Amino acid sequence: MKDTPRFLLLCLAIVVQAQTAMADPPPAFQGRRLFVSYCQLCHGPDGKGDGPLAAQMKIKPADLTTTVRSRSDTILRKIITGEGKQTITGRDRHNLISDAMPEWKSVFSDQQIDALIAWLRFLSTSKHPLLGDPSVGYKTYEQYCTACHGEQGEGDGILTRLLKIEPADHSNPNAMNPLSNDELVDSILEGAGEYMPAWEGILSRAEVEGLVSYIRLLSQ
Ligand code: HEC
Ligand code: HEC
């Protein structure tokens, strides 16, 4: 390892990080977890309506990657809780949600429903598939990245107050969407500018791919 300023910063970042508490992950991250536990059995892992239960069902689970685009958050909330479902307005049959979709009533808190909706928005709008496991990415980001990039990825970590560094805002879709998964992998492995450390040889492939997914969910 070369004795560069970038390397020294890397050490500093890890020390600073060890002393701060875990931040809440972004809503889409939490929503994905709920989706895996409660929804993918019918809707499938990618929301396409092809979960293991789908084959046996008479009314097929919706392909959420297309249907939710035209739905407002309010309507999605009604569909998920089942409360006020009958008041969904629209001319075609598509707007009648049958009992084949469970009514979750108060199973989820308001915050959890917001999280589910954030994940549905990701499924239906993201141009970039999740590359690795976001849970691995969450832990790794907390450990190695938030000191500079900030707890919510906004580019306002503790070290940015001590040094004149300005990482991009990972929570800003306009900044992140133009970058491909491969470009993010390269930035992470190779480092960038004066201050972004190169993580090649420090992080495993799975950790780097997890980080890319986590950054995607931060910018949802
Ligand atoms: C037991 C299977 C099942 C489970 C579990 C399930 N769904 Fe559904 N869901 C369906 C079916 C079937 C439909 C289509 C209903 C229809 O077309 O009448 C549907 C429709 C929907 C729709 C409406 C799609 C649209 O815009 O027309 C949304 C949104 C939705 N589900 C979200 C969820 C979420 C979020 C969860 C997890 C909390 C979930 N579903 C769990 C079976 C399921
Ligand atoms: C010592 C501070 C520091 C640490 C620690 C750090 N970064 Fe960065 N990072 C930066 C800076 C500064 C930039 C902007 C570099 C430039 O000038 O283009 C950057 C850039 C990036 C970029 C390119 C897009 C962008 O945001 O500008 C990605 C992706 C990135 N970092 C991810 C990570 C990940 C993932 C980690 C943790 C494994 C991490 N960074 C750790 C400071 C840091």
> What's the pLDDT tens digit per position in 173-205?
999 999 999 999 999 999 998 899 999 999 999
Look up residue 120 and give its two tokens. 């549905």
The residue among 162 and 144 whose pLDDT is bigger is 144
Contact 29, 214 (CB under 8 A): yes
pLDDT at 124: 94
DSSP string of 144-160, one letter each residue: HTHHHH-TTSSS--HHH
Residue that the structure tokens 């970590």 belong to = 157
Residue 167 Cα to ligand 2 midpoint, Å, equals: 6
Residue 47 Cα to ligand 1 midpoint, Å, equals: 10
Please check whether the two domains, 5-26+130-218 and 28-125, share a CATH topology.
Answer: yes
Task: Give me the residue spans of the domains in the chain.
Answer: 5-26+130-218, 28-125
Q: Which fold has domain 5-26+130-218?
A: Cytochrome Bc1 Complex; Chain D, domain 2 (1.10.760)
Average pLDDT estimate for 204-214: 98
At 67, the pLDDT band (50, 70, 90 cuts) reads very high
- The whole-model pTM stands at 0.90
Share of the chain above pLDDT 90, in %: 75
Q: In the structure, which protein residues have their CB atom closer than 6 angstroms to any atom of ligand 1?
A: 38-39, 41-43, 53, 57, 59, 61-62, 64, 67-68, 71, 76, 79-80, 97-98, 100-102, 104, 116
Residue 111 Cα to ligand 2 midpoint, Å, equals: 30
By C-alpha distance, which of 148, 112, 144 is closest to 211? Answer: 144
Going by alpha carbons, the residue nearest to atom 34 of ligand 1 is 39
Digit-coded pLDDT (tens) for 105-155: 999 999 999 999 999 999 999 999 999 999 999 999 999 999 999 999 999
The CATH classification number of 28-125 equals: 1.10.760.10
